[in-house]
Structure 1
Amino acid sequence: MRIAQRLAALCLLATGACAQSLMEPLTIWPPGPGDVLVAQQPDNELSSMLNQIDPKRIQAIIEKLVSFGTRHTASNQTDPVRGIGAARDWIASQMRTFAAASNGRMTVTVPSFIQQPTNSFPNATLISNIIATLTGSKEPNRVYVVSGHYDSRVTSILNNIDDAPGADDDGSGVAISMELARIMATHQPAATIMFAAVAGEEQGLFGSDFMAKTLKQQGADVQGMLDNDIVGASKGDAGSNDPFSIRMFVSGLPPSNTASQNNALASIGGENDSPAHQLGRFVAEVSQNSVTQMNVRTIFRPDRFLRGGDHESFLDQGFPAVRFTEPHENFAHQHQDVRIVNGVQFGDLAEFCDFDFNARVGKVNGAALWSLAQAPGTPKNLIIDTSVLTNNSTLTWDVDPHQDEIASYEVVWRETDQAQWNRVISIGLVNKVTVDLSKDNVQMGVRAVGKNGFKSPAAFPMPS
């Protein structure tokens, strides 16, 4: 940090004027670009949790899910050993076992509804989600979600009889939710984490839509959702193999935006700065390190071509969400009847999963989830002053109701053609600042720094 910046921040604290200064601008002078942004690293508690993610437990979960034969959403719901009902009950039982170690902090629910007949459901069908909620110790209404879908399918979306193993799609994602729930149940995050296994994904995202709408109706402040769907195999077709990378799909303009909101973003070149993009940048920053041993490949589009996932249900409700999917897919092992053709095995079988890879993807999710839940919330209502022509930039944002947990704020910035925030200016405990950076030349954001050292995702400013 430049000396003048340090003096400004120290002066602010030394005068005891933090509370009084919350509506006064702090000007960074003389002009300077700030420091190089250094990625947040996991602390000892987080490192310990990530190192507990067990490939053998991942394998056991996936093989147990496969053992139910089919998990088609319209399969048998009362048979104790076959069908989606047996899978639902087993997942819920496991989650309750994890919750028993939480001293009451984690609760498990199985919210359900009747889906009326559609093209993919000839008959009315009960759809159930399993949700383990680890309530935040300081901000219970600020919520982060990790999810996989436990339903499966074969070639015909209406076939609810034949075996549909669903090992990779999406036993692998469910295994991550369950393994993280097991490990984090004995810890105390500041904000709430929900570990979900949802159904009805293959027929049209019905379970996740129900969950996202319920959270919206309850007024939950969902600041991030991580969807894990097809994250269990490092090898794709044609021999492709990339065991230390995971794709993260990050949507652009929020589907919940109005035309005027999109126009406002477009007017300042903010198409690449949606809340989902800020969540994606955060995940890329905190989840690529020596503990996870993973590269997070950020792809700025909602999903692969011709595909979709449960993150879209959360995006539709205005919640930031991203999707993880393995780096190279083998389509012979997705949405296929189990069969052998010309010596080629088709079907989503556990033998094609890479459980060590799956566990590393779990570490990526765990690093992101815990870093989100322990950090302050993303600053709200960030505004950049556009009332006058100036080469400085003035930013204002709301005072956080949990200000006593915040040590300071930082302005982050990058050149407009760069993907990640890469410069940072420490500005102290204020909620208005003028920096000697031209808003015409760069993109800026503001993030909160907790007293525990965890930093929030950045907020992106809208014009005044």
Structure 2
Amino acid sequence: MFSVNRLLLIASFLVLPASAQEPGDEQKLYQIAEAVSAKRIEQDIRKLVSFGTRHTLSETESETRGIGAARRWIKAEFERISAECGGCLEVYFQSGVIEGEKRIPEATEVVSVIAVQKGKTDPSRYVIMSGDIDSRVSDVMDAVSDSPGANDNASGVAGVLEAARVLSKHQFHGSVVYAALAGEEQGLFGGNIMAEQALKDDWRVKAVLNNDMIGNIGGINGVINNTTARLFSEGTRVVETSEEARKRRFTGGEVDSPSRNLARYIDRIADQYITNLDTMMVYRLDRFGRGGHHRPFNDAGYPAIRIMETNEHYHRQHQDLRTENGFEYGDTLDGVDFDYAAKLTALNAVSLASMAWAPSPPAKVEIRGAVEPSTTLSWAPASAAEQALVKGYKIYWRYTDQPQWQFSRFVGKVNTFTLENVVIDNYFFGVASVSQSGIESPVVFPGPAGAFGE
């Protein structure tokens, strides 16, 4: 008779096939969250601060100071990351000449740095993480004074670089883009250039995660909190037509734009995969009366949100370096919590990986059930390239006054399903695609108000 110890010894010599040992996609998501390094993020932020100023109109020829040196270093980092993964990233400068603008009066080349990790199943489908290269002081036209921009927004760029390091070790079905965008403080020009090019190149952009200030935990309000983050998302899509608006008036969708459901998706990612992080979904395009680099993508019709710290400190934003009335002003390294920046970077990395491993969000989602006891949803079949990836679909619904999806049902690999005795008038509905390994896409609200594009 075998003893327990002898059985364990025998089991230790059994070697499973490599495919059986490979962790599932869900387990990989936990590993991705754990792989993000606060130390590497700190090193990147310190390097970006060392360029003195990264103002859009600053020095471009120096190797040690100004926006030119900063963008060349970022490109070199992406290229180094790509070399480590066997050339898995396509790295390039993306630029446009801007002139005649209030904050860029003379012709200036605005240069962003882009790295693209192509998907193996559906490479024309993209999810994007972005951060802003440039920095500024009190005078938005001051391109000479020291402007460290440690939190705003070296933290966001460092997060993008670290996400590329972690995710480049994996292969995904969809493509992942890492973008260090320029010209934000002068008028969101880098984002405008990238969004316009994405439209020209027929990129099917399903998500843009703009990271603008992800390192500060101490607010001007006296609150110190390293366990929350904000997700800003627009409601009604800005590209909505008058006919689509008329339809939305009768069917709903004001709080179910693709950007809003992207925020819900990331809120759930935080709950499941990121330790000690709760996200606050803010139902607004951006902070009150202010803007960020996700907006140009919204303007182009793409789902895009802003991810950032919860408690801002305005003495550390857009300020000359000085001490005044006992207060220290300026965006310096001592205002950045590197562990917190790593936590928000992990949120981005897991969200990107989850969406890139999942099938594309369902297209052409429709709903019917007026004056009926039940609700029927339908959607287009997956593309030929994704047929093998799709296990099926999951229908979600919630009460109309609830912020997050409450109820769900996996319905298999079908393209229409009726929820018996679930009355259409009492809920909002949506559909998500589910991969063979159980990874889901964002939920799509029926009709043009919620469409993620084809």
TM-score, normalized by length of structure 1?
A: 0.89
- Structure 2 match to 1:400: 382
Structure 1 window deviating more from structure 2 (262-271 vs 74-83): it is: 262-271
1:430 paired to 2:420: no
Letter in 1 for 2:444: A
> Is the CA contact (8 Å cut-off) linking 2:55 and 2:134 kept in structure 1?
yes
- Structure 2 match to 1:111: 94
Letter in 2 for 1:447: A
1:120 paired to 2:133: no
> Is the CA contact (8 Å cut-off) linking 2:54 and 2:135 kept in structure 1?
yes
* CA-to-aligned-CA distance 1:262-297 (integer Å, 9 cap, x gap): 222222121111111111111111122354431111
1:66 to 46, 49, 58: 49
> Is the CA contact (8 Å cut-off) linking 1:42 and 1:286 kept in structure 2?
no
1:443 paired to 2:428: yes
Change beyond 3 A, Cα 1:328–1:291: closer
Structure 1 window deviating more from structure 2 (259-268 vs 230-239): it is: 259-268
1:380 to 339, 363, 368: 363
* CA-to-aligned-CA distance 1:96-143 (integer Å, 9 cap, x gap): 000112223211111111112311012111111111111101110010
Letter in 2 for 1:55: A
Letter in 2 for 1:216: L
Tell me how far 1:47 sits from its aligned partner.
1.7
Uncovered stretches (5+) of structure 2, i.e. residues with no partner: 1-23, 450-454
Letter in 1 for 2:425: D
Q: Larger relative contact order (C-alpha < 8 A, sep ≥ 6)?
A: 1
- Structure 2 match to 1:209: 192
* CA-to-aligned-CA distance 1:74-106 (integer Å, 9 cap, x gap): 101111111000000000000100011222321
Tell me how far 1:244 sits from its aligned partner.
0.7
- Structure 2 match to 1:459: 444
Aligned to 2:230, the other structure's residue is in SS state: strand
1:253 paired to 2:263: no
Tell me how far 1:42 sits from its aligned partner.
7.3
> Is the CA contact (8 Å cut-off) linking 1:385 and 1:463 kept in structure 2?
no
* CA-to-aligned-CA distance 1:288-321 (integer Å, 9 cap, x gap): 2354431111111111112110110110011001
* Number of matched pairs: 423
> Is the CA contact (8 Å cut-off) linking 2:232 and 2:285 kept in structure 1?
yes
> Is the CA contact (8 Å cut-off) linking 1:50 and 1:292 kept in structure 2?
no
Structure 1 window deviating more from structure 2 (164-173 vs 395-404): it is: 395-404
Change beyond 3 A, Cα 1:104–1:209: same
Please give the alpha-carbon distance, in whole angstroms, between the structure 2 residues aligned to 1:429 and 1:226: 29
Aligned-residue identity in percent: 36
2:136 to 150, 153, 158: 153
* CA-to-aligned-CA distance 1:351-377 (integer Å, 9 cap, x gap): 110001110011111121111110011
Change beyond 3 A, Cα 1:164–1:107: same
> Is the CA contact (8 Å cut-off) linking 2:53 and 2:66 kept in structure 1?
yes
Letter in 2 for 1:349: T
Please give the alpha-carbon distance, in whole angstroms, between the structure 1 residues aligned to 2:261 and 2:279: 14
> Is the CA contact (8 Å cut-off) linking 1:379 and 1:400 kept in structure 2?
yes
Aligned to 1:377, the other structure's residue is in SS state: coil
> Is the CA contact (8 Å cut-off) linking 1:102 and 1:187 kept in structure 2?
no
Please give the alpha-carbon distance, in whole angstroms, between the structure 2 residues aligned to 1:49 and 1:404: 25
2:318 to 317, 335, 342: 335
Tell me how far 1:385 sits from its aligned partner.
2.4
Please give the alpha-carbon distance, in whole angstroms, between the structure 2 residues aligned to 1:283 and 1:333: 27
Please give the alpha-carbon distance, in whole angstroms, between the structure 2 residues aligned to 1:293 and 1:372: 22
Please give the alpha-carbon distance, in whole angstroms, between the structure 1 residues aligned to 2:350 and 2:325: 43
- Structure 1 match to 2:76: 93
- Structure 2 match to 1:27: none
> Is the CA contact (8 Å cut-off) linking 1:384 and 1:463 kept in structure 2?
no
TM-score, normalized by length of structure 2?
A: 0.91
Uncovered stretches (5+) of structure 1, i.e. residues with no partner: 1-40
Aligned to 2:63, the other structure's residue is in SS state: coil
Aligned to 1:215, the other structure's residue is in SS state: helix
Q: CA RMSD in A?
A: 1.5
Tell me how far 1:463 sits from its aligned partner.
8.8
- Structure 2 match to 1:199: 182
